[in-house]
Amino acid sequence: MKNIKLFIILSFVLVLSSCEKDFTNKNQITNDQVYSTEAGIVGAVVGMTNHFATSSYGAIVEVPGITTREIGITSTFATPFELAQGGTVLPNENTGVAKIWSRLLRDKGVAEEIIANIDNVNIEPAKKAGLKAYAKFFKAMTLGYLVQSFEKVPIDNSFDGNAVFSDRSDVLKECVNLLNSAINETDADAASYINSLVSTDFSFADVLNAYAARYNLMAGNYQAAIDAADKVDLTAKSVWIYDGVNQKNPVYQFAVFDNPDTWPTDNFGLTGDLAPDPSDGRIAFYLSPLDSVGTDETGAWPIEGLLGFFSSESMSIPVYLPGEMTLIKAESYARLGKLADAVDAINTVREKTDDVFGINASLDKWSGDSGDLKAILDEIYMNRCAELFFSGMRLEDSRRIHNEFVPSKEVDVKSERNRNFYPYPYEERINNKNIPADPAI
């Protein structure tokens, strides 16, 4: 991150999770001290951003990636093994599931504190507007990633550990509301300040519209999703940056570095009619050939080496991908019954040769049945799996587009996904009296 040293905040931002315990430390800096000055607020923003980019992001890619066959397993270590087997074999104690939960709640808690306190701090108006909008974006983003993995989540963290859980529809509505509020409050000066603070490549206005498009799609607000996607500049880049020393690319750490036990699967984990065309340029973009397979107990999935945005510890990772915007429009058109427009958007992605990040399928037009909604949605799903590989979106996409599929409660190492949602972590269950029952599957 530019302009602010990360240690300013990492040493004293308080973690606010819904399962928080109350331990008193007379030497600990209080929330009032952290969030009562401009330096404290800015430090909180930088620390929150760094924690998400280096810690939370890895969890939201790795854990659902195992569940949805993006990732093959080459060991019998308990955490990935349980995720690969799925069903009711997956326990509340699984540390991968706990990582998604606790890390995203931590980031969300910091965003909530910024939102709650910033109006009481003397900051130049443009900076204040940008910081407040960025905190709203962060709360929306972390809520969105949480609800992609859990059936119900707390919209607001709680100091007493008993946060109230909300249904998925209400959470997505809150995500959209937060982003709309941030968009309305962010003028050019506010956006410029955030761009300079967060990354060497960051376009805050485009990020806000991109995530508004994403969560409107997930919420079923299809025209709003199209409208937001249309506002995104597809030539702009927004990335999380890493220096390879203190801030290391988290996906490189778990999927590339030091002969890991989690590897990307061949053909993006797609099989049968969903398998990509062998000439699809996205295969070579993301994958390098590796003549190996995962363990028999986890499906013996053919595995490959990982390229794309993850082949070194200092590579930047996109905050969103331009291709996602076009595919959001394709799916929204399809859901609205505008099948010809959906096919046009699919072809835009298939024929793309000038992607700003170099993700180019370079294929011919789709030759499927342009009057068959299911066939169109399957083609959209295949393209999302290829275009958005290792982005943390696969479980949500599989559940939404292939909602007719019901995962088995038994061990399942071959199906497209082996869970719909994860069980709530054990620590949350024993500490929060409001926690719902675990989903059946």
Residue in the block written with tokens 């909604």: 373
Helices 188-198, 204-219: crossing angle, 10 deg rounding: 100
pLDDT tens by residue, 374-384: 999 999 999 99
Looking at residue 33, its pLDDT comes to 75
Domains (range + CATH), the chain: 7-20+31-430 (1.25.40.390)
Q: Read out DSSP for 78-139?
A: HHHHHHHH-GGGS-TT-HHHHHHHHHHHHHHHHHHHHHHHGGGS---HHHHHHHHHHHHHHH
pLDDT tens by residue, 362-420: 999 999 999 999 999 999 999 999 999 999 999 999 999 999 999 999 999 999 999 99
Looking at residue 290, its pLDDT comes to 95
Helix locations, 11-94, DSSP H: 31-34, 38-51, 57-67, 78-85
Query: Among 250, 183, 242, which residue's Cα sits nearest to residue 211?
Result: 183
pLDDT tens by residue, 238-271: 999 999 999 999 999 999 999 999 999 999 999 9
- Specify which residues 104 forms β-bridges with: none
Q: Any idea what the Cα angle at residue 390 is, between residues 384 and 392, rounded to 5°?
A: 80
Looking at residue 32, its pLDDT comes to 67
Exposure of 220 in the CB half-sphere (CA atoms within 13 A): 5
- Using a 10 angstrom Cβ sphere, with 0-12 exposed, 13-18 middle and 19 or more buried, the burial of residue 337 is exposed
SS3 393: coil
Looking at residue 31, its pLDDT comes to 65
- Are 114 and 43 in contact by the 8 Å Cβ rule? The answer is no
Compute φ and ψ for 35, nearest 5 degrees: -105, 20
Query: Among 210, 176, 193, which residue's Cα sits nearest to residue 131?
Result: 193
Looking at residue 27, its pLDDT comes to 39
Chain-centroid distance, C-alpha 420: 16
Q: What is the mean pLDDT of the chain?
A: 93
- Are 343 and 366 in contact by the 8 Å Cβ rule? The answer is yes
DSSP H/E element including 305? strand 302-306
Cα dist from 279 to 351, 355, 361, 363, whole Å: 12, 17, 8, 7
Compute φ and ψ for 330, nearest 5 degrees: -60, -50
| Per-residue confidence band for 3, with pLDDT thresholds at 50, 70 and 90 | very low
Segment 150-169 shows an average pLDDT of 97
Q: Read out DSSP for 240-258?
A: E---SSSS--HHHHHHTTT
Tokens coding 155: 């919209």
| Per-residue confidence band for 16, with pLDDT thresholds at 50, 70 and 90 | very low
| Percent of the chain with pLDDT strictly greater than 90 | 92
Residue in the block written with tokens 């959906």: 342
Looking at residue 34, its pLDDT comes to 85
Looking at residue 221, its pLDDT comes to 98
Judged against a pLDDT cut of 60, whether residue 7 lies above it is answered with: no
Query: Among 360, 337, 338, 340, which residue's Cα sits nearest to residue 349?
Result: 360
Residue in the block written with tokens 């996205």: 282
